[in-house]
Amino acid sequence: MQLLATKRESSQLLTHPDLDLGRYAGLWHEYARLPNGYQAGCIGEVTAEYIPRDDGVMGVRFRCMNPDCEILSAEGEVRPSRRFEPQDSSKLEIRFNSDWLSAPSSVWRDHWVLYVDPDYRHAMIGTPDRRCLWMLGRDPVPDRLALQHMLRYAAQLGFSVNRVLRTGETG
């Protein structure tokens, strides 16, 4: 698996070149993440499903389990960021209609696609400030080799991979 990205911005964070949002759509399972405040109550299986819409925005359904074994879910939307000209399909913004996932529903947050393998089986999402990072896959059971490659690549991009939690770990 070769990890390459070619786009640079002033933050020097590379994004995935020429992301195909149609192929990116669908169900993703979280394999690992940097700890973040809005997922503090999530343990066990975590999923995000991206659903294409006719208006160019994608719906997103987020699900996880809390320590009381209750399923938490939130719906939201993802769109290409409006802060960049020309638009970059890898620089996305996300917002949720649920306050338990952090900011009020009117706030769009960065959701940059940093890596997707050629078959769209594994992906890495992050924020330009390098505070948030998610490693995803299409299969519920993580592909250890793919996860190792993504961890190495995230380290090259400047993320604190020594803090990464495998899904199911708390922190």
pLDDT digits (tens, 9 = 90+) for 116-150: 999 999 999 999 999 999 999 999 999 999 999 99
* Three-state secondary structure string covering 38-72: HHCCCEEEEEEEEEECCCCCEEEEEEEECCCCCEE
* Three-state secondary structure string covering the chain: CCCCCCECCCCCCCECCCCCHHHHCEEEEEEEECCCHHHCCCEEEEEEEEEECCCCCEEEEEEEECCCCCEEEEEEEEEECCCCCCCCCCEEEEEECCHHHCCCCCCCEEEEEEEECCCCCEEEEECCCCCCEEEEECCCCCCHHHHHHHHHHHHHCCCCHHHCEEECECC
pLDDT digits (tens, 9 = 90+) for 35-86: 887 787 788 889 999 999 998 889 999 999 888 888 888 899 999 888 877 7
CB 64 within 8 A of CB 38: no
Residue 102 has pLDDT above 60, yes or no: no
Q: What is the pTM of this model?
A: 0.86
Q: What is residue 153's predicted lDDT score, i.e. its pLDDT?
A: 97
Q: Which domains does the chain have, with CATH numbers?
A: 21-166 (2.40.128.20)
